[in-house]
Amino acid sequence: MVRITPMASFSVRPSLSASRFTGFSRSGLSIASFNTTRRIALLHLGSAIPQSQYVGLKASEMLRGEGSNVGMTVAGNAAQASTGDSSENLLDWVKEDKRRLLHVVYRVGDLDKTIKFYTECLGMKLLRKRDIPEEKYTNAFLGFGPEDSHFVIELTYNYGVDKYDIGSGFGHFGIAVEDVYKTVELIKTKGGKVTREPGPVKGGRTVIAFVEDPDGYKFELIERGPTPEPLCQVMLRVGDLDRSIEFYKKAYGMELLRKRDNPDYKYTIAMMGYGPEDKNAVLELTYNYGVTDYEKGNAYAQIAIGTDDVYKTAEAVKLSGGKVTREPGPLPGINTKITACLDPDGWKSVFVDNVDFLKELE
């Protein structure tokens, strides 16, 4: 079991959006205005039952209020939930649901410094940025294309918090580039930290390198031809790979794209996603031999996934052994329907109604 001493308790605002282990060899549109109701509603979208030590009083109060108000809203919309389907039909529906990875959410200590690194060194664009002074946090969305068609990053800066614990469970993000060597040289000239020089991956021919952003998040640079989705991976560590694969297939409707065991370095990986790796962002699950538990820290938050029906999604998650932490239903004030859940290892995902998500981007 891997343990990392937790950080001292402090108040951290949840995200606004809808939201290697060092001992192992595997490395790892601006919105013009928000009224108060809309701000509170969007706060729920990025946070479903946060850990108490990381959440301020206002967020806690809003979550407590959600228990009654949203509960009634969900009950009032029960007719929308097609939960009368048989288990078999429901899991078949999951495979046909129009799902896509929307964005990944995590916290940073210096938003401007991080934006500068991502845009100048990694080639991302700042898509939008919004400050919510009443709740003391700011969000920035970055990526290689618009949010309605690309997987993007949502950064959250909480006023006055300049450091987070990434933990041992989060691994890295992956970015496909056409020339790893040139990209690494650029990053070095900008003062970036290179933790693995460019070269072929061990046991293969793909050229990779590893770099760190200002907060210590690792990015794997993967040499690949032109791709519609350069932000191509999120790597998380799990304690039982077969269990995780089955869960993501059944509950999330993902495909097992490939699986590779590396006994020399004592780890196995599985690539899960909604389409081929060279055209879509994927989830890379890593199992390190003999390690069944990891500390998640308070830096990485969640992945958001689009769905045509949050009600059916929640039922499928329950049927597959996952934990629903935010029952499906519309958010107060904006009526965007979401549900939030945890996988068997406690990694959080938020499912967002596809139509509602596009409306939110308008």
| Alpha-carbon 279 to chain mean position | 18
Which letter does DSSP use for residue 8 in this model?
Answer: P
Angle between helices 57-76 and 36-45 (to 10 degrees): 90
Is residue 172 marked as binding?
Answer: yes
Per-residue DSSP letters for 121-136?
Answer: TS--EEEEEEEETTTT
Contact partners, residue 178, CB within 8 Å, separation at least 6? 223, 224, 225, 226
CA distance 328 to 138: 26
Contact partners, residue 52, CB within 8 Å, separation at least 6? 60
Q: Are 175 and 187 in contact (CB under 8 A)?
A: no
Q: Which of 173, 342, 171 is nearest to 252 (CA)?
A: 342
Contact partners, residue 65, CB within 8 Å, separation at least 6? none
Question: Any idea which residue has 């370095």 for tokens?
Answer: 265
Is residue 154 marked as binding?
Answer: yes
Q: Are 328 and 74 in contact (CB under 8 A)?
A: yes
CA distance 236 to 248: 13
Is residue 360 marked as binding?
Answer: no
Active-site amino acid positions = 220
Q: Which residues sit in the known binding site for Zn(2+)?
A: 154, 172, 220
Q: Which residues sit in the known binding site?
A: 154, 172, 220
